[in-house]
């Protein structure tokens, strides 16, 4: 494979949370003193085979960024063709873009991560608040999720924490983590999740976001990967089977607070923790829904963007193969 290699000591910061301190101390913080953290190397590989000599192939992959909760270093990209790195036009993060005519495309991205546990916090700009209140195609306002939100009894405590906790508890009670064969789970369709009462992390958090936005609580969506083996020795490796996602809601006094409701469902003993706290066993890649990439795909906006997205002769193709691995540092 021809190599086109990029090395960066650190990426520019695209923070998941604004660094401005919250206006008052945050509550339900699970950490006392220094935040737990871990370091690992992550490998993201993708291959797209050409089927004819004149086939026009285009491929986009997400790239990690520094946030308040993680630092990225030693980024190396090996690619079969020249590529571009672009900020997302809409959404939070960056992407790598590569194209070819009639030739296979291969990309391998390697980078180091130091990831911290977090309880969130930090204020938001007016534009961030507006985005957090804007519905997505799969998280519409005014439908059955909004009606459900209005029916939930909440603790009106003068800020959003009590309301968000009631919505979190409702989601945890109503939804079950399940991925039946040939099911419609995994699309982050809030209305579908309301009816089906099951799904994966996208469905849990899309439903929660719809409930929150219906109550005029800003919310945002984050995609990344789960990172196993936190207690294993340096040098230990493990394949990462797939993505993970979580959400934030904005409280007027405590700032952006995280939730991971699907993990709370899988680990009931952690239900209190995952309201307002995240562990260090994760990697953040991209924020947002209805993602708009640069250059713009022929298909337009993407509902979700964490796996490689490819087009062949102007149409989406699922022929891309992918693999992910972490190595403890």
- pLDDT, residue 14, reads 29
How far apart, in whole angstroms, are the C-alpha atoms of residue 114 and residue 243?
18
What is the arrangement of strands in the sheet containing 244-251, beginning at the earlier edge strand?
Answer: 90-92, 282-292, 219-226, 244-251, 255-259
Q: In sequence order, what are the residues at sequence separation of 6 or more whose Cβ sits closer than 8 angstroms to the Cβ of residue 267?
A: none
Note the pLDDT of residue 8: 34
Instruction: Give pLDDT, residue 24.
Output: 60
pLDDT at 157: 67
The predicted structure's pLDDT at residue 296? 98
Residue 5 has a CB neighbour count (10 Å cut-off) of 9
Q: What is the pLDDT along the chain (329 residues), one digit of tens a residue?
A: 434 433 333 233 323 333 334 456 788 888 888 899 999 999 999 999 999 999 999 999 999 999 999 999 999 999 999 999 999 999 999 999 999 999 999 999 999 999 999 999 988 999 999 999 999 999 999 999 999 999 999 877 667 899 999 999 999 999 999 999 999 999 999 999 999 999 999 999 999 999 999 999 999 999 999 999 888 899 999 999 999 999 999 998 999 999 999 999 999 999 999 999 999 999 999 999 999 999 999 999 999 999 999 999 999 999 999 999 999 99
What pTM was estimated for this model as a whole?
0.91
Collapsed DSSP state (helix, strand, coil) of residue 79: strand
DSSP H or E stretch at residue 264 = helix 261-266
Instruction: Calculate the CA 109 to chain-centre distance.
Output: 18
For residues 177 and 165, give the distance between their C-alpha atoms in angstroms, rounded to a whole number.
19
Which fold would CATH assign to domain 6-116+287-328? Immunoglobulin-like (2.60.40)
- Listed by start position, the domains of the chain span 6-116+287-328, 126-286
What are φ and ψ of residue 86, in 5° steps?
Answer: -130, 145
Please report the sign of the dihedral spanned by the C-alpha atoms of residue 15, residue 18, residue 22, residue 28. Answer: negative
> What is d(CA 119, CA 99) in angstroms, rounded to the nearest whole number?
40
CATH number of 126-286: 3.10.620.30, 3.90.850.10, 3.40.50.970, 3.40.50.720? Answer: 3.10.620.30
Find, among 130, 92, 85, 101, the residue nearest to 224 by Cα: 92
Q: What is the 3-state secondary structure (H, E, C) of 48-63?
A: ECCCCCCCEEEEEEEE
């Amino acid at each position: 494979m021809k190599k086109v290699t990029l090395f960066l000591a650190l990426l520019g910061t695209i923070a998941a949370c604004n660094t401005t301190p919250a206006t008052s101390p945050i509550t339900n913080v699970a950490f006392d003193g220094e935040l737990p953290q871990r370091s690992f190397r992550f490998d993201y590989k993708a291959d797209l085979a050409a089927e004819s000599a004149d086939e026009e192939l285009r491929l986009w992959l997400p790239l990690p960024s520094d946030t308040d909760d993680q630092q990225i270093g030693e980024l190396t990209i090996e690619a079969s063709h020249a590529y571009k790195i672009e900020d997302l036009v809409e959404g939070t993060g960056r992407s790598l873009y590569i194209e070819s005519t009639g030739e296979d495309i291969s990309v391998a991205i390697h980078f180091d991560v130091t990831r911290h546990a977090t309880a969130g916090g930090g204020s938001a700009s007016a534009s961030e608040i507006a985005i957090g209140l804007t519905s997505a195609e799969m998280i519409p306002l005014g439908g059955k999720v909004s009606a459900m939100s209005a029916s939930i009894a909440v603790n009106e405590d003068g800020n959003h924490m009590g309301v968000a906790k009631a919505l979190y508890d409702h989601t945890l009670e109503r939804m079950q983590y399940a991925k039946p064969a040939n099911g419609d789970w995994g699309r982050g369709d809030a209305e579908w999740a309301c009816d089906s009462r099951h799904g994966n992390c996208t469905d849990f958090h899309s439903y929660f976001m719809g409930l929150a936005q219906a109550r005029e609580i800003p919310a945002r969506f984050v995609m990344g990967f789960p990172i196993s083996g936190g207690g294993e020795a340096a040098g230990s490796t493990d394949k990462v089977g797939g993505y993970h996602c979580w959400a934030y809601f904005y409280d007027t006094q405590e700032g952006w607070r995280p939730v991971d409701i699907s993990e709370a469902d899988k680990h009931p003993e952690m239900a209190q923790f995952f309201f307002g706290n995240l562990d260090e066993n994760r990697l953040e890649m991209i924020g947002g829904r209805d993602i708009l990439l640069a250059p713009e795909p022929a298909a337009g906006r993407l509902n979700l963007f964490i796996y490689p997205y490819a087009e062949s002769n102007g149409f989406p193709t699922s022929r891309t193969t992918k693999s992910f691995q972490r190595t403890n540092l």
